[in-house]
């Protein structure tokens, strides 16, 4: 099939590349000259495991193209995927100016071309319920009749996006006609050869599904974070509680790991957008409002532990930081707990030396030159009064503790992701603070 992907951000680039991998001809459109220059030079502008291999292969096979010519892409493609940013507005709502702006452009292009060939406009951006109807209204304003706007949300996890796209748990298609559903199913059938479902529904249900899924997962994380804080107060070990809960088939084991709050481009934005949409439709989701508030507070729980240990005075102290990205296997710094934690410590007069395997450049946008960026994790710990672990990268999970201790001024770890076994750190004479378990001192809990 001939496909157009409008927007080469995280979702657009992964989607376009993976569609091309299945033999489709894909034109990706972007209006950022700097990004286009990189893409045309076969440079992958984001870090996502496995993407570079598919990206280069499909450029070489001449199935994946990049352009700023929206008209060419629209007219030469039977399906047009909108993979546009929907940033959070000041009131928490999703800002749809890019989605509706492109809809206006498509309307003008199709009107000028004579509205000849049937076009399927696929909204892959995460958008509030009613957006498909809104885009339809924009196109009808230009007297376009030969089209259908559908919802086809993505469910990609950063760090696993290629795997999630190539072998999805499910495909959700929100469309109004059987003919359009059949064409989209034909596109997606190669991705679900193992029998995972293609779920058909109306556009409104599809739009709600994406927000519902992300908000529910955010709620699970938040519940575990609150439970971890409670466990710490009563002498329970949240890791053992988690195992006891997760063995229940009704609950399952995923998204039960406590820490310093969720971040990224999806959960915070989607939770707030659903809160705002629910209020607009006179059906406020009070639970999600609490989820958002609790998550913001959780990002500072580790700072409270630091202050308690250092008698509320960290002025002049240096802290090593391992991990800046909001999660491992990505360079995404959006809503990263590390930014909140570091900013608070800087505000209190502390100094920061930090290392992240992939997110250093993106971190500079948020933290500028107010911290020191190091070449490796041990350099970040060298001369530090304590170490803060803020992202659970695999390379941090089994460090050389003796080498780490040689660099630290004090053998103290504030483990915001609960990645270390406390008996191991106790055996190394390291004072180990974690989430939901309290410190281990002299080998005792």
- The catalytic site residues sit at 266
DSSP string, 221-262: HHHHHHHHHHHHHHT--HHHHHHHHHTSTTT-STT---SS--
Burial of 381: CB neighbours in 10 Å, binned 0-12, 13-18, 19+: buried
Contacts 24+ apart (CB under 8 A), 243-249: none
For residues 418 and 391, give the distance between their C-alpha atoms in angstroms, rounded to a whole number: 10
- Angle of CA points 181, 186, 192, to nearest 5°: 105
CB 81 within 8 A of CB 6: yes
Q: How many CB atoms lie within 10 A of CB 69?
A: 11
For residues 117 and 247, give the distance between their C-alpha atoms in angstroms, rounded to a whole number: 53
Classified as helix, coil or strand, 129 is coil
Classified as helix, coil or strand, 349 is coil
Q: What are phi and psi of 199, to 5 degrees?
A: -100, 120
Q: Which helix (H) or strand (E) holds 353?
A: strand 351-355
Q: What are phi and psi of 244, to 5 degrees?
A: -65, -40
Q: Which two tokens stand for residue 391?
A: 């992202």
CB 52 within 8 A of CB 58: no
CB 6 within 8 A of CB 84: yes
| Residues 6 or more apart whose Cβ sits within 8 Å of residue 366 | 333, 336, 339
Q: Which two tokens stand for residue 26?
A: 């894909």
Per the listing, tokens 């004479």 go with: 429
Question: End-to-end CA distance of the chain, in Å?
Answer: 60
For residues 25 and 5, give the distance between their C-alpha atoms in angstroms, rounded to a whole number: 11
Q: What are phi and psi of 100, to 5 degrees?
A: -70, -30
């Amino acid at each position: 099939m001939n496909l157009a992907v409008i927007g080469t951000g995280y979702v657009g680039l992964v989607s376009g590349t993976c569609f091309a991998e299945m033999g489709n001809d894909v034109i990706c459109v972007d209006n950022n000259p700097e990004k286009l220059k990189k893409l045309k030079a076969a440079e992958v502008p984001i870090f996502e495991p496995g993407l570079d291999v598919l990206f280069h292969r499909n450029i070489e096979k001449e199935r994946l193209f990049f352009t700023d010519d929206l008209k060419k892409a629209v007219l030469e493609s039977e399906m047009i995927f909108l993979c546009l940013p929907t940033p959070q507005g000041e009131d928490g709502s999703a800002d749809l100016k890019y989605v509706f702006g492109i809809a206006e452009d498509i309307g003008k292009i199709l009107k000028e071309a004579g509205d000849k060939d049937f076009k399927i406009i696929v909204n892959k951006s995460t958008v509030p319920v009613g957006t498909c109807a809104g885009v339809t209204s924009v196109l009808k304003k230009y007297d376009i009749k030969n089209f259908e706007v559908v919802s086809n949300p993505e469910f990609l996890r950063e760090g696993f996006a290629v795997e999630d796209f190539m072998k999805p748990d499910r495909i959700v298609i929100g469309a109004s006609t059987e003919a359009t559903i059949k064409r989209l199913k034909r596109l997606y059938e190669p991705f679900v050869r193992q029998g995972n479902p293609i779920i058909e529904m109306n556009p409104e249900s599809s739009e709600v599904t994406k927000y519902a899924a992300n908000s529910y997962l955010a709620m699970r994380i938040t519940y575990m974070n609150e439970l971890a804080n409670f466990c710490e107060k009563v002498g329970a070990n949240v890791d053992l509680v988690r195992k006891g809960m997760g063995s229940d088939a009704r609950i399952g084991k995923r998204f039960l790991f406590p820490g310093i709050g969720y971040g990224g481009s999806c959960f915070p934005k989607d939770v707030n957008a659903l809160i705002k949409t629910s209020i607009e439709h006179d059906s406020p989701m009070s639970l999600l409002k609490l989820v958002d508030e609790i998550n913001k507070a959780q990002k500072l729980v580790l700072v409270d532990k630091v202050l308690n240990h250092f008698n509320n005075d960290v002025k002049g102290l240096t802290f090593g930081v391992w991990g800046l990205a909001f999660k491992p296997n990505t360079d995404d710094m959006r809503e990263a707990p590390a930014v909140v934690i570091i900013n608070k410590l800087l505000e209190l007069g502390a100094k920061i030396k930090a290392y992240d395997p992939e997110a250093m450049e993106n971190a500079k946008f948020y933290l500028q030159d107010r911290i020191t960026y190091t070449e490796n994790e041990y350099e970040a710990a060298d001369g530090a009064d304590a170490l803060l672990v803020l992202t659970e990268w695999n390379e941090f999970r089994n460090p050389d503790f003796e080498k780490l201790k040689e660099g630290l001024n004090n053998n103290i770890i504030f483990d915001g992701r609960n990645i270390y076994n406390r008996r191991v750190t106790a055996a190394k004479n390291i004072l180990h603070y974690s989430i939901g378990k309290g410190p281990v001192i002299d080998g005792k809990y």
